[in-house]
Structure 1
Amino acid sequence: MARVKIDMPESYRFITQLPVRITDINYGGHLGNDAIVSILQEARVRYLASFGATELKALGTALIMADLAVVYKGEGFYGDQLTVEVTAEAFSSVGFELYYRISTFRSGQLTILAEAKTGMVCFDYTARKVARLPEELKAQLSKTNA
């Protein structure tokens, strides 16, 4: 079976902390895959907010997710404090890739729980079509915030 592979970056421009909530736990007693996707969205929203943007008002454009890939590396449990690192790379004329690493420090050891990538495309919601990546947004995404 072919596995999804993501070439992860060496460094990240933004870091945020999120707790694992009881509602994030699935029937297996660990962090559910649906919760991971929600955690990615929360981290993305916080990253954009760190330079005054939102998904609908991103410095001259709006954003829409074109694809998502997640590679699960370990289990998360209720009470874990997650560190989510985010960075933007692979810019094109209409979008970019966001890379995420979710980890926790438990029992004196760093555990990576998941690595992910989302393809983000600039989008005009009024015209319902792809838009150009504004230089101002690209410049902000390229800055080091961490």
Structure 2
Amino acid sequence: MTTPTEDNPVHLYNCGLQVRVSDLNYGNHLGNDAILSYFHEIRVQWLSHNQLSEQDVGGCGLIMTGANIDYLKQGHLHQKLTLSLSVSNIGKARFSLGYKLKEQKTGHPIATGSTHMGCFDYQRQKPARMPPGFAELLK
């Protein structure tokens, strides 16, 4: 089994979305805040699909330590989109998630990005080691 790296991420999940009026900004196109919310949506869907949540991935929660978005094309009201999720750079307590947002009809990219995630014990308010079962899920 290959270890997921930035150059060789492992695909985890896909979902479909449609641009809502609340996702638009003053330029009448998909806003940056909405794109980050889309990243959150697929992450939560993927966790739920695996009977997990951001609060519990098998003994600890997840915390975002950084985010990056690259804007490639405008998104518009009612446009149908496909979002894919991948993983890379898995460590003992951290990993990176990659996102690709595309037009469903044409496959043209709208945005790409990443979030850097850490395992976190919210009761102790300290970083935690990644639970073994969750680490296996990422591979």
TM-score normalised over the length of structure 2: 0.90
Distance, in Å, in 2 between the alignment partners of 1:11 and 1:133 is 18
**Residues 19-30 of structure 1: matches in 2 within 5 Å?**
19-30=18-29
Q: Which amino acid aligns with 2:59?
A: G
The aligned counterpart of 1:112 is 109
Q: How many residues align?
A: 134
The aligned counterpart of 2:77 is 78
Aligned residues of 1:60 and 1:137 also touching (Cα < 8 A): no
In the alignment, is residue 121 of structure 1 matched against residue 107 of structure 2?
A: no
> 5+ residue gaps in structure 2?
1-5
Distance, in Å, in 2 between the alignment partners of 1:124 and 1:10 is 26
TM-score normalised over the length of structure 1: 0.86
* Cα displacement (A) at 1:27: 1.1
RMSD over equivalenced CA pairs, Å: 1.4
Distance, in Å, in 2 between the alignment partners of 1:88 and 1:127 is 27
Q: Alpha-carbon deviations, 1:37-89, whole Å to 9, x = none?
A: 11110111001111111000112210000000111111100111111100111
The aligned counterpart of 2:44 is 45
Deviating beyond 4 angstroms after TM superposition, the runs of 4 or more aligned structure 1 residues are 7-11
